[in-house]
Structure 1
Amino acid sequence: MKTIARNHQKRRFTAGPSADPSAPVWLWGQHAVEAALANPKREILRQIASENAARRLGLSDVEILDPKAIDKLLPPGAVHQGLAIRVKPLEALSLDDVLASPHAPTRICVLDQLSDPHNLGAIFRSAAAFGIGAIILQTRHTPPITGVAAKSAAGAIETVAEVRAVNIARAIDQLGAEGFHTIGLAGEGDETIRNAISGAPKVAFVMGAEGSGLRPAVAKACATLARIPMQPGMESLNVSNAAAIAFYESMPSKES
């Protein structure tokens, strides 16, 4: 199935069979670290900073390390800006918990086996920017949210609810039963996103994995498939770009 929420990169990111979703992780970069420190639900295990970063941000209760020493603690290429913290992962919510909340969101995103942490982080960032209340991820085939995704999210993983579901198609069915108009993003969609959203009080966007897009069973579970109109010659967008467009189109009111 061809989908607009597509990524042509060949590199794949997976959690691996030994990944432990409860294992502590490093977060780095100013936005990700500040957002985590401001989140009362975060358990901070270690906080480190370069002397310049600590002075710049007025940090006092922090372990001071040379930037090169911080480099050695983090994955290669991590742009930490002199800040990093070791934390326990946030506890993922169940869909039942989210829907039963007195502040249950009316706009949700469902990601079907998304595996690139940069895309995942970018989608969280767009979700926070455009008011998407929760992101549903598959329990087994989507890796835990770690430092790479957190850096791309620029703090949004602290504010947008992470929901884990064993079966994505069943989660979509449950959303439909709760009054959500479930919209799968696909290049062969019969409607544009704008038309698909029109008049729906509650919306859930469903987006497929990089390269393969929506799985057939997941696409079938959606109430409708919608597309983003594009110029001839371009058949797809990166999944994070498609998500940002869909989220923006779904905002209750937008400035002209």
Structure 2
Amino acid sequence: MAGNSQRRGKRSTAKKGAAGGTGGKNRDSLKGRGRTLPADERPWHKGYSGTEKLPMKTAWKQDKERRAAEEEGRPPKIGKPGTKDTTWGRGWGASSGGAAGGRSAGGRGAAGRGATGRGGPRVAPGRRSNPSRDAPELLVGRNPVVEALRAEVPGTALYVAQGIDIDDRITEAVRSAGDRGIAILEVTRAELDRMTGGVLHQGIGLQVPAFAYEPFEDLVAAAAEHPTPLLVALDGVTDPRNLGAVIRSAAAFGAQGVFMPERRAAGITATSWRTSAGAAARVPVSQVTNLTRAIKACQREGWTVVGLDADGDTSLYDLEVAVGPVILVVGSEGRGLSRLVGETCDLTVGIPMASEVESLNASVAAAVALAEVARRRARR
């Protein structure tokens, strides 16, 4: 036979040609899938409003959300949106004692600064987060909890550690919570440690809604009715412990209120409440959008604005204006008074010190200045 027809392994079929075209790679995946269903038409969505039976996984998620909402004392985020959570603070009105209910102690979420949480008080030790404005908080410590209950702060649950030493404050807190219908939950000390993020709690904690600040206009108007008006303004104090200490000093030396900026400053958290030893329930606290503008508005009403500054032009012991309507401005922990606030003050005062100390802590300086103002007013 001619050629190589006797070759072993010769091809006996025609060479394979090109595969038939598909009209483009993954053409089927480019086909339209129709309109996007709204939430109330999706059986798997929490906003589903139909009567069709929910899938098992969706029903489990919604049941889980209901249990979490019961523990945190808030409406469940299922179906149509509900009303916002009740807030607490001065001027909150009647108390609202809701049950924490559900599984034992420990809500969902992570605690924020001190002992405040996003969506609940539970937290791993040492963890911190930035809670939302409407998130519930956990007040801890025997004095702060008792003061909050006396002030009828609308608590939603009282947590008491097992095996703690019972004293008059614990007895009063439990009795007051029971009288108001607040759920009382006994938990282990380890569980309470996790809920508070390692903050010293003394075996007791009260879960409350977020703090409600006093309107600034109402704060100034109420203070102006006092025979010797005195307000404290905080210029960028970022440590909640310093804020709580200033509020405590303001209550001790007769100030009628405290106000500070909304941004780049500490707000009332469980840590500041605890540091104030409950004084936040007696002293109105307000937040303003612009501190300089708020101070100028008070100056037009006849207030004298005094700024604390280590290099102040006047000695605190020569503060003759202390007997009139005064706003005492305390600067931040690091930089002191900001430039605009310092320029707005009517005068700046320094605290005489015997030794070569660079400066005092913001809350300590505020306490010293408030004590001097109170002394001058008492002598008058």
What is the TM-score with the length of structure 2 in the denominator?
0.59
Map 1:115-154; keep pairs closer than 5 Å. Answer: 115-154=238-277
Q: Distance in 2 between matches of 1:71 and 1:17?
A: 16
Cα-to-partner distance string for 1:108-143 (whole Å, 9 max, x where unaligned): 000011101111111111111111111111011223
Q: Distance in 1 between matches of 2:165 and 2:301?
A: 47
Q: Which residue of 2 aligns with 1:196?
A: 319
Q: Which residue of 2 aligns with 1:8?
A: none
Q: Which residue of 1 aligns with 2:144?
A: 32
Q: How many angstroms does 1:232 deviate by?
A: 4.2
Q: Which residue of 2 aligns with 1:220?
A: 343
**Larger relative strand fraction:** 1
Q: Distance in 1 between matches of 2:268 and 2:224?
A: 24
Distance 1:120-1:136 versus aligned 2 partners, 3 A rule: same
Distance 1:51-1:104 versus aligned 2 partners, 3 A rule: farther
Q: Is the 8 A contact 2:216 2:286 kept in 1?
A: yes
Q: Distance in 2 between matches of 1:207 and 1:134?
A: 14
Q: Does 1:43 align with 2:154?
A: yes
What is the TM-score with the length of structure 1 in the denominator?
0.86
Larger of the two Rg values belongs to structure: 2
Map 1:1-256; keep pairs closer than 5 Å. Answer: 19-40=131-152, 42-53=153-164, 55-56=166-167, 57-58=170-171, 59-60=174-175, 61=178, 62-76=184-198, 78-101=199-222, 104=225, 106-198=229-321, 200-251=323-374, 252-253=377-378
* Uncovered stretches (5+) of structure 2, i.e. residues with no partner: 1-112, 117-127, 179-183
Alignment coverage as a number of residue pairs? 239
- Matched to 2:202, the amino acid is Q
Q: Distance in 1 between matches of 2:219 and 2:211?
A: 15
Distance 1:133-1:235 versus aligned 2 partners, 3 A rule: same
Distance 1:73-1:18 versus aligned 2 partners, 3 A rule: closer
Q: Is the 8 A contact 1:196 1:224 kept in 2?
A: no
Q: Is the 8 A contact 1:92 1:162 kept in 2?
A: yes
* Uncovered stretches (5+) of structure 1, i.e. residues with no partner: 1-12
Q: Which moved more, 1:16-25 or 1:133-142?
A: 16-25
Q: Distance in 1 between matches of 2:232 and 2:162?
A: 40
Identity %: 28
